[in-house]
Amino acid sequence: MVAIMLAGVMFPLWPPIMRLGVWYLSIGMLGLIGLFFAIAVVRLIFYVITIVVASPGIWIFPQLFADVGFVESFIPLWEWDIPKKKSKKRKTEKGEKKEKGKSRKNGSAGEAVEDSDSQPLRGARIEEVPDEDA
């Protein structure tokens, strides 16, 4: 780490061919970043145009900024902007508390307590087990 820092500080002492190589590398990286910005602007403009012309719109390179590899970002060249189906979520604790607040059917010790929607509430249950006399 110290050697890398020392080499960076001593940049003016590098041979001219190495300085020229570093300059080309920096310009190349700057061009690559500029290319990504240009692609992002072009795909946004194309998306806005296709929203108006062909609803629901078309995304060019839909996985361009997704957390995938470099090659996978360009594999699907275009995709319709169709909203994803929402998955059914489990009831949260707040939803269960609201259901508990509804009217209940109180049974005897052997029956489960049920709410107005006839769904059994999860919880402790007391059962009476008859003795077996053999």
State the residue range of the domain holding 71.
Answer: 12-80
- HSE toward the beta carbon, residue 102, CA cutoff 13 A: 14
| DSSP code for 120 | B
Domains of the chain: total: 1
Predicted pLDDT at 34:
96
Distance, in Å, from the CA atom of 81 to the CA atom of 126, rounded to the nearest integer, reads: 53
Helix (H, G, I), strand (E, B) or coil at 103: coil
Report the range out of 28-42, 54-68, 114-128 with the highest average pLDDT: 28-42
In terms of pTM, does the model score above 0.75?
Answer: no
Residue-level pLDDT at 82: 67
In a domain, 61, yes or no: yes
For residues 51 and 77, the model is more confident at: 51
* Domain presence at residue 125: no
Mean pLDDT for 77-94 is 64
Residue 47, Cα to own-chain centre: how many angstroms? Answer: 21
Please tell me the number of Cα atoms within 13 Å of 99 on its side-chain side. Answer: 16
- Is residue 111 domain-resident? no
* Better-scored residue on pLDDT, 92 or 123: 123
